[in-house]
A and B are shown apart, each in its own frame.
Chain A
Amino acid sequence: MFEATALNARNARIQTLFRLLFGLMTGLLILPVLIILTTLIHEGGSVISYDFLFTSPTDGMTAGGIFPALIGTIWLVAVALIISVPLGVAAAIYLSEYAPENWLTRAINLAIINLAGVPSIVHALFGVGAFVLFLNFGTSILAASLTLAVMTLPVVIVATRESLQAVPLAFREACWNMGATRWQTIRRVVLPNAVSGILTGVILEVSRTTGETAPIMFTGAVFFTPFLPQGVFDQTMAMSLHLFVVSTQVPGVPEQLPYGVALVLIGMVLTMNSLSIAFRMHLRGRKKW
């Protein structure tokens, strides 16, 4: 009575087929990442050295290191974060915890999602118009970081809003019913439980900001400067733009050099990501309900 029927066998075959299919798709997904990483390490690994990381480019960009670009990218990302994280988190708290559920709130949410879909070159031109020219910041780290911040704000807002909404309503009700104001509730209960989710948004933002080229190439990043930035009104080199330059704009660059630049760029993003993920897991480990 427990033998497999023909129908059982057929269903089992179909099930196996789909499992294989989905597995294959997952494999295809990972493949490009693996190829990129192995190529970069294979081709660019030999370029990386202490001098490569900590000296300026020389001989018309065809030799030397990447130090000014490395420092420049750190500046750009840091200033962009300083601008966009407080702004984005505050906006998300308003939208999630205070805003009434009406057409205006829905319109704002829609606008934020659409903002995330605006091509980065459009952000770049907006940045030129708004920050470089209108606000007269010139081509500077400030203008470039503002442009990056505007571009990545939706990521921060959406991630923060979602992690706020993942905090159970029962916690808020418990607070309100003890006479806590909205802010007391947010400060003491909602935010501490949403931090790990907010951090995810920030990680995503860092990754994207580090690699962006278009928004900075007209607003603050330059092909070459031997000087390190001294403040937010200076121009700077940046890793992403530098990669573009040594790959396509300058003749006579040794073949290995761009691979080395790309490898360092990816390494920066991956390091930041792993640090943040580790921190997030640490936070999540303390959270239980």
Chain B
Amino acid sequence: MSDIAIQTSKLSLWYGDFQALFDVDLDIKQGIITSLIGPSGCGKSTLLRSVNRINERLGYVRIEGSVEVLGQNIYDPAVELIQVRKQIGMVFQRPNPLPLSIRDNVLFGHRLHSGERGSKATQEEILEAALRQVLLWDKVKDRLDSRATELSLEEQQKLCIARLLPVKPTVLLMDEPCSALDPTGTEAVEELIWQLRGQYTILIVTHNMAQARRASEECIFMLLGKVIEHTPTDEMFVTPVHKETADYIEGRYG
């Protein structure tokens, strides 16, 4: 059990009358990169978003079943949403740095959750550690006080990952993190995600089959709100079990 980071049981989700997820049962292993693939509208983003409860902001979402993160159901009424968000970081399709300095972006989460305490020196340490971890430190160390929105998209996306790290999350959710980037940027961010494996459990939604293949260890194929197949990535792309999986991988639809 301890090597399972995220476990969904009989997870169903409705947007109003539309059912987007059907009895999803998944065990996502700790410390590896798992990719979610499938054609548009198959529910992969919905699944991702139900792991940090951001769907529920839309008032008309209804959920049955459970999502356990490290053994605790995050939909339990006793769960503090702020702690869920702290433990489970999210990276979006479009880089969304805040209109603040690079420094304030990275320290934003830390300041929220530490009640602003902590000396200047500690903050600088945290800042450097986070930026080093996302391979951005050498590029930005001389302009930490310039605006984050002036960085390139690739750097912005790395910064968005960096700003999750100071609050020590266990899970990182990524919703097509490279789709707004050019090929060079994609490669750089993929490389970064690969380096973060082991320390964090990473769940990544992607439209890009090649990306799923080279940058994930396990792969989940979804279709029409159901999980069709969940196997190690190598197996899925070489010997898919289900016909739908094979058809999708070979580009017959999607």
Name A's B-contacting residues (CB within 8 A): 100-101, 170-171, 173-181, 184, 188-189, 192-193, 287-289
In the assembled complex, how far is the CB of residue A230 from the closest CB belonging to chain B, in whole angstroms?
Answer: 43
Stretch among B7-15, B31-39, B82-90, B199-207 lining the A interface:
B82-90
Distance A175 CA – B167 CA, assembled complex (angstroms): 13
Distance A101 CA – B59 CA, assembled complex (angstroms): 9
The number of chain B residues with a CB under 8 A from chain A is 29
**Known contacts A193-B99, A288-B150, A177 near B89 by CB under 8 Å:** yes
In the assembled complex, how far is the CB of residue B149 from the closest CB belonging to chain A, in whole angstroms?
Answer: 5
**Known contacts A173-B92, A288-B150, A289-B149, A179 near B98 by CB under 8 Å:** no
Contact A179 B113 (CB under 8 A): yes
Tell yes or no: B102 within 8 A of A by CB: no
Instruction: Report the nearest B residue to A168, measured CB to CB.
Output: B96
Distance A181 CA – B83 CA, assembled complex (angstroms): 11
7 contacts across the A-B interface (CB closer than 8 A): A173-B92, A175-B98, A177-B52, A178-B163, A178-B164, A179-B85, A179-B86
Distance A124 CA – B170 CA, assembled complex (angstroms): 61
Tell yes or no: B54 within 8 A of A by CB: yes
Contact B147 A288 (CB under 8 A): yes
- List chain B residues, Cβ under 8 A from A179: 82-86, 109, 112-113, 167
- List chain B residues, Cβ under 8 A from A177: 52, 54, 85, 89-90
In the assembled complex, how far is the CB of residue B129 from the closest CB belonging to chain A, in whole angstroms?
Answer: 17
- List chain B residues, Cβ under 8 A from A184: 112
Contact with A along B141-175 (1 / 0, CB 8 A): 00000010110000000001001100100000000
- List chain B residues, Cβ under 8 A from A178: 85-86, 89, 108-109, 112, 163-164, 167
Contact B82 A287 (CB under 8 A): no
Name B's A-contacting residues (CB within 8 A): 52, 54, 57, 59, 82-86, 89-90, 92, 94, 96-100, 108-109, 112-113, 147, 149-150, 160, 163-164, 167
- List chain B residues, Cβ under 8 A from A289: 99, 149
Distance A175 CA – B89 CA, assembled complex (angstroms): 11
Distance A288 CA – B85 CA, assembled complex (angstroms): 27
Q: Knowing that A287-B99, A289-B99 are A-B contacts, what are 11 other residue pairs whose CB atoms are under 8 Å apart, sorted by A's residue number?
A: A170-B92, A174-B92, A174-B98, A174-B160, A175-B98, A176-B54, A177-B89, A179-B167, A184-B112, A188-B100, A189-B100
In the assembled complex, how far is the CB of residue B250 from the closest CB belonging to chain A, in whole angstroms?
Answer: 35
**Known contacts A178-B85, A179-B85, A179-B167, A171 near B112 by CB under 8 Å:** no
In the assembled complex, how far is the CB of residue A170 from the closest CB belonging to chain B, in whole angstroms?
Answer: 4
- List chain B residues, Cβ under 8 A from A188: 100, 108
Distance A175 CA – B149 CA, assembled complex (angstroms): 15
Distance A101 CA – B99 CA, assembled complex (angstroms): 27
Distance A100 CA – B59 CA, assembled complex (angstroms): 9
- List chain B residues, Cβ under 8 A from A170: 92, 94, 96
In the assembled complex, how far is the CB of residue B203 from the closest CB belonging to chain A, in whole angstroms?
Answer: 14
Distance A189 CA – B96 CA, assembled complex (angstroms): 13
- List chain A residues, Cβ under 8 A from B160: 174
In the assembled complex, how far is the CB of residue A176 from the closest CB belonging to chain B, in whole angstroms?
Answer: 7
- List chain A residues, Cβ under 8 A from B52: 177
Distance A28 CA – B100 CA, assembled complex (angstroms): 44
- List chain B residues, Cβ under 8 A from A100: 59
**Known contacts A173-B92, A178-B109, A288-B147, A189 near B98 by CB under 8 Å:** yes
Q: Contacting A288 at CB < 8 Å: which of B98, B149, B164?
A: B149
Contact A171 B82 (CB under 8 A): no
Distance A171 CA – B98 CA, assembled complex (angstroms): 6
In the assembled complex, how far is the CB of residue B99 from the closest CB belonging to chain A, in whole angstroms?
Answer: 5
Instruction: Report the nearest B residue to A178, measured CB to CB.
Output: B109
Distance A193 CA – B99 CA, assembled complex (angstroms): 8
- List chain B residues, Cβ under 8 A from A101: 59
Q: Contacting B85 at CB < 8 Å: which of A171, A176, A189?
A: A176
Contact A174 B96 (CB under 8 A): yes
Distance A193 CA – B100 CA, assembled complex (angstroms): 10
Contact B96 A180 (CB under 8 A): no
Distance A175 CA – B86 CA, assembled complex (angstroms): 11
Instruction: Report the nearest B residue to A286, measured CB to CB.
Output: B147
In the assembled complex, how far is the CB of residue A13 from the closest CB belonging to chain B, in whole angstroms?
Answer: 46
Distance A101 CA – B90 CA, assembled complex (angstroms): 26
- List chain B residues, Cβ under 8 A from A193: 99
In the assembled complex, how far is the CB of residue B126 from the closest CB belonging to chain A, in whole angstroms?
Answer: 14
Distance A5 CA – B251 CA, assembled complex (angstroms): 50
In the assembled complex, how far is the CB of residue B102 from the closest CB belonging to chain A, in whole angstroms?
Answer: 14
In the assembled complex, how far is the CB of residue B15 from the closest CB belonging to chain A, in whole angstroms?
Answer: 16
